[in-house]
Structure 1
Amino acid sequence: MPSDYHHGVRVIEILDGVRPIRTVETGVVGVVGTAPDADPEVFPLDEAVLIIGSRTKAAKLDTTGNGQGTLPGVMDAIFDQIAPLIVVVRVEDVEDENEQISKILGTVDATGHHSGLQALLTAKTSLGIKPRILGAPGFSHHQPVADELGIKAEHLRAFAYVDSPATTVEEAVVHRNLFGNKRVMIMWPAFKVWDTPLADYVYQPASARALGMRAKLDNDIGWHKTISNIVINGVSGLTADVSWELQNPVTDAGYLNANEITTMVVQDGFRFWGSRTCSGDPMFAFESAVRTGDVLADTIGEAHMWAVDKPMSPTLIQNIMDGVNSKFRELKNFSYIVNAECYLDPELNSVESLASGKLWLNYDYSPVPPLEQLGFRAKLTNKYLVELLEVK
């Protein structure tokens, strides 16, 4: 104790003060698929494996160079956009479609081993990283896989890109109505891309390149930018014709977007067109709103382990709030958010609550909305005609 008798000098380190807050890593892809020709030592079945932006390691998913399974093509699609952190789960490649779906879904067995999509939940513990951009290209058009991607996105505070199995615009809208998860974005149609091993064009699920695009945007611009209206690398065509005009909403693209489906348009390159999620709550209609909420929640939560179990005091409470508000000012200055504030609500913190070791702090925030609809109002006027008389 500082009050204990001591004949000499004592130095006490004061640990009060505001702690800096580091934004959580957002551009981490999590993907599940098949690769029968993979190196089993590098990519064992049903294990989360980290690729740190290395095409060389990704190539070990296809040791024969034949491009078998879904993962080799997905890796190519992602690396065409950026070389990100990728958590890969390889599952067994089987012939029966229903059995294959079950392999992708995965299970947690009696020993606690996670397989398939369930293995993504182990990445934080086994790899020290949490995937936040989820997909299973080649399988997400199956309803059970799409649903499970949404569930895993909820568990991880992540976002999932799901392909529609539709062959027409109308079928795509019917498929979209099966979802109500704010962490899911439906994409239609698919891409036409060049397959080097086959030496021919093939169709590729749109979600494969969406995974890479999302990681690229997080790295280059930020998580507040939606996936829409950015040129996609490595695309040669689409599997269906999608009519679109920038100034006409009565088109295929306009109809798809009105029904919360992200499509693709061609204007100086192929681009994703659409920013809306499957949320039934208008507050989370935009991809950017969902991801902003997730980033703030994890950034604030993960940054305050230092405060847990410290003696509660006005100084501690103020330091926590000051740190959070300092982070909010930083995010505002870089235009990641419009604004946000952390504050203490006395009504939430009763004497009984404080006595039981509980403290509640509120924060509110405004995410940056995308400029989805730009309008100009034109008015004809004669007031400029007098300039015709300004003869020199």
Structure 2
Amino acid sequence: MASKYGVNIELYNGSNNPYKINNERPIAIIGDDDTLIEGLHLFSDILDALKETGSGSIKDTLTDLKATGLHNQIILSVFKKSDNTDTDATKCQNAIDELKKCEATLGTKPKFFLAVGYNDKGTHDKLKQIAAYLRGVYAIELNETKEAQINIALQKYSTKTSIITYQKVIRADKAVRPASAFIIALYAKTMSETEYGFSQTFSNRVIDGVIGIEDKVELIQGEDCEADRLRGKGVTLIIANDGIRAWGGETCNDDLFSSIHTYVIFYTAIDTIFKAQARAIDKRMRDVLKNVVDSLEAFYLRLKNNNVVVGFEISVPKELNSNETISEGIVYIRHNVQEMPLIKRIVNRIYRVTDYSQKLIEEL
């Protein structure tokens, strides 16, 4: 209780939470295991998870990740395998749904999703739902291996953050495995390299832990080819070009953006803004609104200075903020943001000329 006489001091925190980018990006593996109990499990590293798992699709996927040399937090959503394929597909889909409770149960939430070996359309749709719900990236495998068949299969898909693969690769221990886990590991590594690694792409980077490609794809630089056509439709390829590399990252039949990279940048910004502005809710508008806008501008300036965005403008437009909305405590803030584009193609125009012939005479 304050004193009746003399000087009293009251301390208030009028600031928002800091705009700190969360670079923890756990990988969720959904699959079967004959040792762990069904449900969610959290491990600080891949090696720790391998020690606790028995046989099953989870063990196989963890071994893929281990081969890449990745060190990352792992979340497992486990179910018991049966003798019925349809039953297992349903169990897998239920295990994907369990990840919605992940933050409440384990205190963290995944940003990458893998269900290697479960390639039915229902499972793919569930992965799409959970990735949208938690704003993450997932990888799926197509069963088709021929271009014409893949084109037909892709007509069923419309994805923002799905890495779609169909190739099998040869792991360092000579095992033939789906490519999806290796690409997710590559993306996780790329993002973890710096605070702003989320603005980088996995494409055109060497994949660790892979020594060969089982399903080879035609790639001819400067020419229409199979790899070029499939990449344009949203398939990520494994190519041999000065090492074994990932080649892709485009979205599939998405109306807004053509690149997964764009979504990851905006999803990361959205997550950061959610956490930073949470403290402003239920505070008096005059106390916090200017700080909210100033903090946003400082956040985007950091992104600009680190080549994540090209430019930005933050405003509180009068046309969006009427007397009625403001009196209800609702504020609309407009963000105009352009992300840093990736180079997708370099066009060299070479002209044969005769303008320099006289130099031959001048040299005499």
Query: What band does the TM-score fall into relative to the shorter chain?
Result: over 0.9
Residue equivalent to 1:59: 51
Quote how far apart the aligned CAs of 1:53 are.
Answer: 2.1
Q: Which amino acid aligns with 2:116?
A: P
Identity %: 22
Contact 2:166 2:179 in 1 (8 A): yes
**Aligned pair partner of 2:38 in 38, 45, 63:** 45
Give 1:77's aligned residue.
Answer: 64
The Cα offsets for residues 255-288 of structure 1, whole Å up to 9 and x where unpaired, read as 211222111110122111112012421x321011
The structure 2 residue matched to 1:351, chosen from 314, 323, 329, is 323
Match of 2:269 in 1: 296
2:100 pairs with 1:128: no
- Kept in 2, the 8 Å contact 1:149–1:160? The answer is yes
Structure 1 match to 2:236: 262
Q: Distance in 2 between matches of 1:187 and 1:310?
A: 48
Letter in 2 for 1:265: I
Within 5 Å, which residues of 2 pair with 1:59-208?
Answer: 59-62=51-54, 68-81=55-68, 82-106=70-94, 116-139=95-118, 141-193=119-171, 201-208=174-181
* Deviation string, structure 1 residues 47-97 (Cα, Å, up to 9, x no partner): x222212413332113xxxxx311112112223331111211111111211
Q: Alpha-carbon deviation of 1:338? A: 2.0
Q: Aligned residue for 1:109?
A: none
How far the C-alpha of 1:147 sits from its partner, in A, is 0.9
Would the aligned equivalents of 1:164 and 1:188 in 2 still touch at CA under 8 Å?
yes
Q: Classify 1:91/1:380 alpha carbon distance in 2 versus 1 (closer, same or farther; 3 Å).
A: same
Change (3 A) 1:349 1:236: same
User: Equivalent residue for 2:332?
Assistant: 360
**Distance in 2 between the 1:270 and 1:236 partners?**
7
Which structure 2 residues correspond to residues 241-280 of structure 1 after superposition, within 5 A? 241-248=216-223, 250-280=224-254
**TM-score, normalisation: structure 1:** 0.86
The answer to whether the Cα contact below 8 Å between 2:67 and 2:172 also exists between their aligned partners in 1 is no
- In the TM superposition, residue 104 of structure 1 has moved relative to its aligned partner by 0.3
Alpha-carbon distance between aligned partners in 1 of 2:213 and 2:152, rounded to the nearest angstrom = 20
Q: How much is the aligned-residue C-alpha RMSD, in angstroms? A: 2.1
CA distance in 2, matches of 1:279, 1:295: 22
Aligned-pair CA distance for 1:346: 1.6
- The reply on whether 1:20 has 2:8 as its aligned counterpart is no
Q: Is the 8 A contact 2:67 2:171 kept in 1?
A: no
Return the alpha-carbon distance in structure 2 between the equivalents of residues 182 and 131 of structure 1. 17
Q: TM-score, normalised by structure 2?
A: 0.92
Aligned length: 361
Distance 1:369 1:164 in 2: 29
Cα displacement string for residues 342-372 of structure 1 (whole angstroms, at most 9, x for unaligned residues) = 2211221111112212111111211222211
Determine the C-alpha separation between the residues in 1 that align with 2:77 and 2:97. 9
In structure 1, what residue type is equivalent to 2:31? G
Q: Which amino acid aligns with 2:117?
A: G
Q: 1:376 aligns to what SS in structure 2?
A: coil
Paired with 2:257 and 2:28, the residues of 1 have a C-alpha distance of: 22
For 1:205 and 1:54, locate their aligned partners in 2 and report how far apart those are by CA, in whole Å: 18
Contact 2:17 2:278 (C-alpha < 8 Å) held by counterparts: no
CA–CA distance in 1 between the matches of 2:178 and 2:96?
A: 18
Q: Do 2:309 and 2:339's aligned partners in 1 also have CA atoms closer than 8 Å?
A: yes
Please list every run of 5 or more consecutive structure 2 residues that lacks an aligned counterpart in the other structure. Answer: none
2:226 is the alignment partner of 1:226: no
- Provide structure 1 residue ranges, at least 5 long, that are not aligned to the other structure: 63-67, 107-115, 196-200
Specify the SS of the correspondent of 2:221.
Answer: coil
Q: Which amino acid aligns with 2:180?
A: S
Kept after mapping to 2: 8 A contact 1:133/1:214: no
Give the AA of the match of 2:193.
Answer: D
